[in-house]
Homo-oligomer: A and B are copies of this chain.
């Protein structure tokens, strides 16, 4: 089981980044994303709507108290931070975790998170994006196999050299882009 915990969501400012984090968590093989910060029903609904059409058992949940999520977590906790140890040095250990909670910071990361985490892991030591950091981390954990995962959804894309080839179950109209 792999879960992602997104800290400090702000409705006005973070809507798109938090949406992308949820979509990345799902597409790259995590089972659930927990959002903390401001409660945002439409954020959860937009990810759930993708899961409904595109398949898989991905879940979203709002959790007011993120420290509780960490306390209750049965396995290891991996905090993504540009100050941590290189992801490729930790990948083997991360793969061996039975239950992994990946914590993605928000605007201000509380200092006790570094202590609460079993791993503080960085994806390069340069500033970039929590979205790319999460995708690379999950890619290392699943060793690239996540990109071939079959979600068995109502909408399926058939890879092609040029143009679009989309297979839709009857009654499914709109394609998410």
A: residues with CB less than 8 A from B are 13, 16-17, 20, 23-24, 26-28, 50, 54, 82-88, 114-115, 120, 122-129, 131-132, 134-136, 139, 144, 146-149, 151, 156-166, 176-177
Contacts and interface: CB of A to CB of B under 8 A. Distances in A.
16 contacts: A16-B17, A20-B129, A20-B132, A23-B128, A27-B132, A82-B177, A83-B157, A83-B160, A83-B165, A83-B166, A88-B144, A88-B147, A124-B146, A125-B159, A127-B177, A136-B139
A83 B160 CA distance: 6
Contact of A147 (B123, B131, B151, B157): B123
A54 B24 CA distance: 27
B159 A86 contact: yes
Contacts of A27: 124, 126-128, 132
A127 B50 contact: yes
A85 B127 contact: no
B20 A114 contact: no
Nearest to A146: B124
Contacts of A26: 126, 128
Contact of A159 (B85, B163, B165): B85
Contacts of A85: 159-161
